[in-house]
Structure 1
Amino acid sequence: MKKNSIYLIAVLALSFASCSKELDQVNINPNATENAQPDYLLTGAIKNTVDAYWGTTNNMNSSLLFTQQWAKVQYTEEDRFIYSNSSFTSLWSTAFSQSITSFNKIIEIGTATSNPNYTGVGLTLRSWTFLLLTDAYGDIPYSQAGKLNQYITPAYDKQKDVYYGLLADLKTAKTTLDPAGKTIGGDIIYNGNIARWKKLANSLRLRIALRIADREPAKAKQVLDEIKADGDVYISDNTDIAQLIYQISPQQNPVSAQFDTRDDYRISKTIVDKLFSLNDPRLAIYASKTQTVTPQEYVGLPNGLTNSEASNLGFARTSKPGAYFLLPQAPAVIFSYAELLFDRAEAAARGLTTEDAADLYQQAVKASLKQYGISDAATNTYAAQASVQYDATNYKKSIGEQKWLALFGQGLEAWAERRRLDFPQLTASVNTVLNGQIPVRFIYPGTEQSLNLQSYKNAVANQGADLLTTKLWFDVN
């Protein structure tokens, strides 16, 4: 069966699985399958989640702007941080009404059919979904989420408790996953390679350990010690990258789909200037040449312009994102090998492991370039520059700036890392509406105030006002 057909069947299966028990009982269709097959359900749940992660609302219209990787060339309100409590409903609604419900069903099916690999994969993906949510909003429903028969208005868990819960879930996932066990279908990330799923589960544990490291260094070290003691491995080369490689229309990459019909975005001047200053060979991959010939060939657009200012600079004299990112089949990266190496370098720099931070940093820089097919010679020349060398006296700057470059296009993850490491240091446009600040969280969807008011109020009382500028628990500095 062709992948496009599998996608279609998976979306239909997902729609069945997302219904509540009560609706299922009232609206039984004698001509439809009542129990979704796990392979179709897994495919649909992965695609819907990745679409939300990589799509317009949570990536192009927000986090990519906050990190100044992209900028808006028209309808620039979002680039000036003009949002409302209806602006950030996509990630919330998709994750809670579709993704988490479906991953819970996959976990349940794995148990019922004695196939622990469905359970482990479902648990890993559910943990990643919860991580996206808490990184963006802070306190979220976690322990009661997705249990519609028990909790219509689920309580919000504190962010620290969510991170701790996810660490436990991922430890369970990696133990449950068995490369010698039963096969699974519908896996459009690793094609059923369970050994790679174990690597991803451990890599997510490392990511979360660093999320909490400024607040809970002892817990972070405990997690890494456990992984080492168990002899577990992380993502170990570029072939292990967790990513969804899209197909042609209508199952194309959301970025490609956006540019098919609109032309609202350009690559940011901030990142173009940085790539130029480092003689970085990724410039030609991250940015397209200007349509009108310019002396620089690649021209970034300043963030936070007014609509008239952006219009004056023009569409033809500023660079779109690179062709690599505009292809229908462009991958949506969930976790790269470069990120894993930067994470290991930081863990060593913090004294959480005994590895060589400088060496891991060098490997990370090179892995990012190799991810895009840049030659060994060009990679080595780039990494050897004094401006790219690791600074042990300011590891957050070295890792933060190069990680920002490596995470290009991964808006939500780049935004989380920039908040955590405080590098690169970015300056908001004078046209923005937050008095020089850059957003540090998403606003809760307005529907939470009407449908889950008491839980919403408890979350606000715990973490602070429901504003773009309220720092989350993990964001210390």
Structure 2
Amino acid sequence: MKNIYKTLFITLFSSLSLGSCTGIDDLQDDPNRALEVPPELLLTQLETRAFNTISLSAALATRQLVFTDGVNSDQYYNWQRSGFNAYEDLKQVQQMVLEAERTEMPAYKSLARFFRSYFITGLTRTFGDVPYTEAILATEGNFAPAYDTQKDIYLSVLNELKTASEELAENGDNIRGDVIYTGDALLWRKLINSYYLRVLLSLSNKTGDADLNIVQRFREVVNNPGTYPVLASAEDNGVLPFHNIEGNRYPLFQNNGLQTAYYMEKTFVDRLKTLQDPRLFSFAQRTPKAVQQNMEVTDFEAYNGLSGSAPLDENVDIAGNGDASMINERYYKEAANEPGILISYAELQFILAEAAYRGWISKDADTFYKNGIKASMEFYNIAEEDINTYLENPAVQLGENAIENILTQKHIAMFMNTGWQIFFEQRRTGYPEFDVSGGGVLNNGRIPKRWMYPAKELTQNRANVDAAIERQFPEGDDINAEMWLVKKE
């Protein structure tokens, strides 16, 4: 069924292609574009865009992988400008709203609230202030939308997500084209409410802001599960499964670079070895030397990584000597492999653990923490006996360094999934530490805090982007500038 929907969508949408240009300057009607598209086909496209979170760039930037075929800007933090391509997705969200109204199918309008929130959150946490109100509700011919403040965007997102969940409790019938939850409105409400908690936690530096009212909003959801259900088990995970069918395969299937140039990062491997974490065997291959010596797959000493901050030539030499572990071959040999994850039960448990530790909710942080670890290990098919042994390991206990330990486990759980989420978590908390001690790191040894605005905005919307830069960043449009979201009160 999932492939039928996708095939139908691709066939139809190939004639509706909008190109790859920036979304802001193409908000007017295209006379060659079909004006009516069934909302279920738009939903399928939005789902495949949002839930496909497999990203090699994110794995390099978050010290999970290392690239050896050249100086990679993600790995060495030589970041520059990013793009506004997500506005293309937001245009499709708005189109789904119009089609939902035309066909009198309100559930799609409610789901649109979630996708609108998801895509705009991705944009604002990347850049800072971005166009929102005028960009999404633009009138014909508006090529220069104003930039909304990041705070206003987050206020809108929080309200939209809450409304989406409440509406689906009333109008969640007749959802077709859904390749994630096959039309189950309750599961969608669980995902939306869990994502709402993620957004609230991302605002942990703003707990004193009365307009946001973060802690009370968080408590309202956790203390009212009947009204605001959340992910209750791994079966509720928000995931996009892949299949061995053309157009539906794992994005890195048969990726040539992954077979030759991607190695495990040393600090990540060392952390797994220190914790005696069996997920390492699922993530990585043994080093060539370990294979030659017939070391067991389950021998932690059979694995080694390359430093993400070391100069390229040093890493090439170590890899050439057979002393580095490549990523597990399943990532490029298995057409299905693991699904793309938008948000998981494991992540939710870590969110709740952090909130409990911070005193936002009157719950046991340790229980949530261990539930998150267990769910992650089950996702990677770790045996129950090994999970229990791991959970009893003194080095794994929540302890006094609770925030660091929660984020460390979240980093492990998000290996090669959930996109850039763990980077933004690290930016928020400082954990886990991303190594910059080697001589290869650019950006003066600093981890960037954002991306610069697209060059196209400087030529087509200069007045508005300049105004946004001036009110946010005294140092100018710089990758090390701190946006409102990052600044502590």
With structure 1 as the length reference, what TM-score do the two structures score?
Answer: 0.88
- Counterparts in 2 of 1:360 and 1:385: CA distance versus 1, 3 Å: same
- Counterparts in 2 of 1:361 and 1:83: CA distance versus 1, 3 Å: closer
1:339 and 1:403 in contact (8 A); partners too: yes
- Counterparts in 2 of 1:405 and 1:42: CA distance versus 1, 3 Å: same
Deviations 1:49-94 (A, max 9, x none): 445x43xxxx323x32221011112122312223433xx22xx21x
Q: Would you say how many aligned residue pairs link Structure 1 and Structure 2?
A: 459
1-structure distance, mates of 2:18, 2:217: 34
2:452 and 2:478 in contact (8 A); partners too: yes
1:74 and 1:310 in contact (8 A); partners too: no
2-structure distance, mates of 1:306, 1:15: 46
Q: CA deviation at 1:291?
A: 4.5
- Counterparts in 2 of 1:310 and 1:36: CA distance versus 1, 3 Å: same
Which residue matches 2:424?
416
1:153 and 1:455 in contact (8 A); partners too: yes
Which residue matches 2:121?
131
Partner secondary structure for residue 256 of structure 1: coil
1-structure distance, mates of 2:464, 2:260: 39
Which residue matches 1:44?
45
2:167 to 145, 157, 176: 176
2-structure distance, mates of 1:291, 1:367: 31
Which residue matches 2:466?
457
Which residue matches 2:22?
none
2:283 to 276, 282, 286: 286
2-structure distance, mates of 1:459, 1:424: 31
Partner secondary structure for residue 243 of structure 1: strand
2:56 to 55, 60, 66: 60
2-structure distance, mates of 1:194, 1:449: 42
Which residue matches 2:13?
13
1:205 to 175, 196, 202: 196
Which residue matches 1:394?
401
1-structure distance, mates of 2:478, 2:27: 35
2:5 and 2:44 in contact (8 A); partners too: no
Q: CA deviation at 1:15?
A: 6.1
2:451 counterpart letter in structure 1? F
Unaligned 5+ runs, structure 2: 20-25, 296-300
Q: CA deviation at 1:21?
A: 7.4
Q: How does 1:201-280 map to 2 (within 5 A)?
A: 201-217=192-208, 219-227=213-221, 228-229=223-224, 231-248=227-244, 249-256=246-253, 258-259=255-256, 263-280=260-277
Which residue matches 1:72?
67
With structure 2 as the length reference, what TM-score do the two structures score?
Answer: 0.86
Q: How does 1:64-463 map to 2 (within 5 A)?
A: 64-78=59-73, 79-85=75-81, 88-89=82-83, 92-93=84-85, 95-96=86-87, 98-150=88-140, 151-178=142-169, 181-217=172-208, 219-227=213-221, 228-229=223-224, 231-248=227-244, 249-256=246-253, 258-259=255-256, 263-291=260-288, 293=291, 296-314=301-319, 317-326=323-332, 327-329=334-336, 330-391=338-399, 393-409=400-416, 410-428=418-436, 429-463=438-472
Deviations 1:297-337 (A, max 9, x none): 32212103433223222366432322454333231111011
1:420 and 1:476 in contact (8 A); partners too: no
1:190 and 1:196 in contact (8 A); partners too: yes
Q: CA deviation at 1:279?
A: 0.5
Unaligned 5+ runs, structure 1: none
2:232 and 2:345 in contact (8 A); partners too: yes
2-structure distance, mates of 1:135, 1:223: 20
Partner secondary structure for residue 185 of structure 1: coil
1:66 and 1:439 in contact (8 A); partners too: no
Partner secondary structure for residue 177 of structure 1: helix
Which residue matches 2:480?
469
Partner secondary structure for residue 365 of structure 1: helix
1:16 counterpart letter in structure 2? L
Deviations 1:79-131 (A, max 9, x none): 2223433xx22xx21x11x2111112112222332322212222212211222
2:272 and 2:280 in contact (8 A); partners too: yes
2:62 counterpart letter in structure 1? T
Q: CA deviation at 1:48?
A: 3.2
Q: CA deviation at 1:412?
A: 0.6
1-structure distance, mates of 2:5, 2:157: 33
1:338 and 1:368 in contact (8 A); partners too: yes
- Counterparts in 2 of 1:18 and 1:287: CA distance versus 1, 3 Å: same
1:73 and 1:301 in contact (8 A); partners too: no
Please, which moves more after superposition, 42-51 or 446-455?
Answer: 42-51
